[in-house]
Amino acid sequence: MKTIFEKDNGVSGILLSDEDVNIDFLKDSFIRKTPLGLPSVSELEALRHYKELSDKNFCIEKGFYPLGSCTMKYNPKVNEMLASLEQFSALHPLSDEDDSQGALELMYKLQEALKVITGMDAVSLQPAAGAQGELTGMMVIKKYFEVKGEQRKKVIIPDSAHGTNPASAHLCGFNIVPVKSDSKGQVDINDLKSIIDSDVAAIMMTNPNTLGIYEENVLEISKLMHDNGSLLYYDGANFNAIMGYTNPKLMGFDVVHLNLHKTFATPHGGGGPGAGPVCVVKELAEYLPSPIVGFDGKSYFKDFDIKHSIGTVKAFWGNFSVLIKAYAYILMMGKNLKEASENAVLNANYLKEKLKGAYLLPYDEPCMHEFVLSGDKQKEFGVSTLNIAKALMDENTHPPTVYFPLIVHEAIMIEPTESETKEVMDEFVDIILKIAEEAKNNPQKLVSAPHSTPVKRIDETTAARHPDLKFVES
Ligand SMILES: *Cc1c(COP(=O)(O)O)cnc(C)c1O
């Protein structure tokens, strides 16, 4: 396919008025000396170009998207309509409080809803992603100890954790101490006990963890940590398994971040925009980023009066459009959020039971919203997990998350979400069982997959760092 620059034929899609725009006020050094070099094509050619490009993309509207740890659920289109209402989308972020009461009210009520869902006492909506929420949460923890006059340097993180956890804690200046998982895929309590000392600021946990397994000892862990004067951080990126059933407060956590773009319905295939609100217990409220939206019984206002605030982590209110979608989704679902979790867990367990014969299931436990298989059986025939993932692309199915978590060999991490029907999942079962058969009988076909995509196997690192948009397979 040609790039739009190669399609340039000098035809213009729009007519600009002849009148020059007055740019006298611009400094000479800011004025372009050479033409911008934008391609020129007709409106119809531009539309066809981008439609053709979008057809090459995979999305949830095209097929099953079981990408573990990412919660690729269906995001109702009505959320997009609400987020694009002119009263929201055209509102200037520097508008006076008087002129932005509606937007402030929405954020205030979203804060209140997230308090109920997480059990926490205070919320900052600022962070723009899960990883930024983690960083914010860890900065809160750091400040808490600073104000207390303690110099704790260690953060404990399970070996099954998402890579952003150690990255966030490290960015905050903490030293990472890994804790092992036991044979049930849960934090090894004895290993944890041997690690805890007075230098430990916090533990960062995900529950259900990245194996999709609920940490049965979470209350004991919470007690161990609190008795040691340490705090507990909850990675709530994947909140989809527990909404309405339990919450991080009941589990004994102090700080939580949520990924509104996973659990609360913002499409997130292409890397953003997202929102990673941070929720904390009341003892940590005075460290949150400012401002927070307040309400004095009559009007909504920006509350900058946060005693030990770590400062601002994102301009204005973070990604406001994502907040609108999350609020719309929560209002629309109401108490049915609980049913969404119930179905997400049911769907994951259904798939796990169907697939655990043909594929190795290293931790054969009831799962929550996702589960992790291993491709080790197929590896014996020379077919790797990467080959299986690529073969799925030929079947109009997005590959699951692969090679994560790191503690599972040849990991295949599957998360169907609540939004898929039994029929869709049965179709997926047929496809991935067929691939398991092919691994035995025709491994060559899988090793050379995918066969149907515009490009086949690329060096993914180089492709990300030096994208060659015209790359054609030789
Ligand atoms: C996705 C995810 C994150 C990071 O979220 P981003 O919005 O991508 O920064 C952190 N932890 C877990 C468990 C995740 O699944």
Give the pLDDT band of residue 226 (cuts 50, 70, 90). Answer: very high
Is the pLDDT reported for residue 16 higher than 80?
no
pLDDT at 153 over 70: yes
What is the length of the chain?
474
Q: Is residue 318 located within the same domain as residue 415?
A: no
- 170 and 129 share one domain: yes
Q: Is 464 a residue whose pLDDT tops 90? A: no
Which residue among 41, 56, 71 closes a domain? 56
Sign of CA dihedral 188, 190, 191, 196: positive
Checking if the pLDDT of 287 tops 90, the result is yes
Q: How confident is the model at residue 56 (pLDDT cuts 50, 70, 90)?
A: confident
- The identity of residue 310, as a single letter, is I
Asked whether residue 208 is assigned to any structural domain, the reply reads: yes
Nearest to 76 by CA among 295, 325, 347: 325
Pick the residue whose CA is nearest to atom 2 on ligand 1: 237
84 lies in some domain: no
Over residues 70-86, mean pLDDT = 95
Find, among 337, 178, 336, the residue nearest to 264 by Cα: 337
Domain boundary among 300, 333, 366: 333
Whether 64 is in a domain gets the answer no
pLDDT reported for residue 43: 92
- Are 124 and 227 members of one domain? yes
Is 173 contained in some domain? Answer: yes
Q: What is the predicted pLDDT for the residue at 108?
A: 98
Do the beta carbons of residue 231 and residue 141 sit within 8 Å? yes
CB within 8 Å of 84: residues ≥ 6 apart: 321
Expressed in angstroms and rounded, the spacing between residue 78 Cα and the centre of ligand 1 is 25
Q: Is the pLDDT of residue 17 over 80?
A: no
Checking if the pLDDT of 12 tops 90, the result is no
| pLDDT tops 70 at residue 189 | yes
Residues in contact with ligand 1 (CB, 6 Å cut-off): 69, 129-131, 162, 164, 206, 210, 235, 237-238, 259, 274, 276
Among 333, 355, 380, give the residue marking a domain's end. 333
Tell whether 273 and 256 lie within a shared domain: yes
pLDDT tens-digit map of 311-364: 999 998 899 999 999 999 999 999 999 999 999 999 999 999 999 999 999 999
Best residue among 71, 138, 164, 215 to mutate for probing ligand 1's pocket (most ligand atoms within 8 Å of CB) is 164
Name the residue with higher pLDDT: 299 or 22.
Answer: 299
Q: What percent of the chain has pLDDT over 70?
A: 99
* 176 pLDDT higher than 90: yes
Q: What is the pLDDT of residues 229-282, one digit of tens each?
A: 999 999 999 999 999 999 999 999 999 999 999 999 999 877 779 999 999 999
Query: Using one digit for the tens of pLDDT, what is the confidence trace for 382-433?
Result: 999 999 999 999 999 999 999 999 999 999 999 999 999 999 999 999 999 9
Are residues 26 and 117 part of one domain? no
Q: What is the mean pLDDT of the chain?
A: 95
d(CA 313, CA 288): 10
The pLDDT assigned to 22 comes to 79
Q: Phi and psi at residue 471, in whole multiples of 5°? A: -55, 130
pLDDT digits (tens, 9 = 90+) for 193-218: 999 999 999 999 999 999 999 999 99
For residue 148, pLDDT over 70 is answered with: yes
Mean pLDDT of the 61-76 span: 94
Average pLDDT over residues 371-378: 98
Question: In CATH, what number is assigned to the domain containing residue 173?
Answer: 3.40.640.10
pLDDT of residue 186: 98
Please tell me whether residues 353 and 439 are part of one structural domain: yes
Phi first, then psi, for residue 351 (nearest 5°) are -65, -40
Please tell me the predicted confidence (pLDDT) of residue 69.
95
Given pLDDT bands bounded at 50, 70 and 90, which one contains residue 473?
low
Same domain, 246 and 158: yes
Q: Which residues contact 434 (CB under 8 A, 6 or more apart)?
A: none
Q: What is the pLDDT of residue 474?
A: 58
Q: Cis omega (within 30 of 0) on the bond before 291?
A: yes
Q: With respect to residue 166, please indicate whether it lies within any of the assigned structural domains.
A: yes
Q: Residues 389, 322: one domain?
A: no
| 307 Cβ contact partners less than 8 Å away, ≥ 6 residues apart | 286
The larger pLDDT score, comparing residue 24 to residue 148, is at 148
Q: What is the CATH number of the domain that holds 450?
A: 3.90.1150.10
For ligand 1, what atom is nearest to the CA of residue 134?
10
Containing domain of residue 324, as a range? 91-333
Percent of the chain surpassing pLDDT 90: 85
Residues 358, 304 within the same domain:
no
Expressed in angstroms and rounded, the spacing between residue 209 Cα and the centre of ligand 1 is 12
Looking from the CA of residue 132, the nearest atom of ligand 1 is 9
Nearest atom (ligand 1) to Cα of 206: 13
Q: How many domains would you assign to the chain?
A: 3
